[in-house]
Amino acid sequence: MEEAFTKALMVQNPVTPGPVVIIDPEKCNGCNTCVDVCRTQVILPNPEAGKIPIVLYPDECWLCGNCAQHCPREALTIRYPLNQRVVGWKRKETGEYFAVGMRGALYLGKDDA
């Protein structure tokens, strides 16, 4: 019982409905660059040196993408919620994107590929 009062423990929040920040353990070298640039302190350094950082509070993530953008090994991926992934509809014939539900269907651009 005494041990519980002498140690500081981190306990992860349950992730619902799914993980937001995905860290690839094959690519991550534990440099903690993502920890340094995280605006909301969602990602914390692992107590063991060289281990992948801990995504402690995924539900507090602002989805800014700073961690993924600054990762030198491209080990992080941001998984945006479904309601933020859909930007419009694409016409197969022309490759043009349109947002539905706006007067006149707003033109969003065209794929060059």
- Tens of pLDDT, residues 9-68: 666 666 556 678 999 999 999 999 999 999 999 999 999 988 999 998 888 888 889 999
Query: Within a domain: residue 69?
Result: yes
How high is the pLDDT of residue 59?
82
Residue 76 pLDDT > 80:
yes
- Same-domain pairing of 29 and 60: yes
- What CATH number is associated with residue 23? 3.30.70.20
Q: Which domain holds residue 95?
A: 83-113
- Same-domain pairing of 71 and 92: no
- Same-domain pairing of 14 and 66: yes
- Same-domain pairing of 73 and 39: yes
Query: Within a domain: residue 19?
Result: yes
How high is the pLDDT of residue 107?
47
E strand or H helix at 3, and its extent? helix 2-6
Query: Within a domain: residue 4?
Result: no
Is-cis flag, bond preceding 17, omega within 30? yes
pLDDT band of 6, cuts 50, 70, 90: confident
Query: Within a domain: residue 75?
Result: yes
Residue 95 CA, chain-centre distance (Å), reads 28
Residue 4 CA, chain-centre distance (Å), reads 32
- Same-domain pairing of 69 and 28: yes
Number of domains the chain is built from: 2
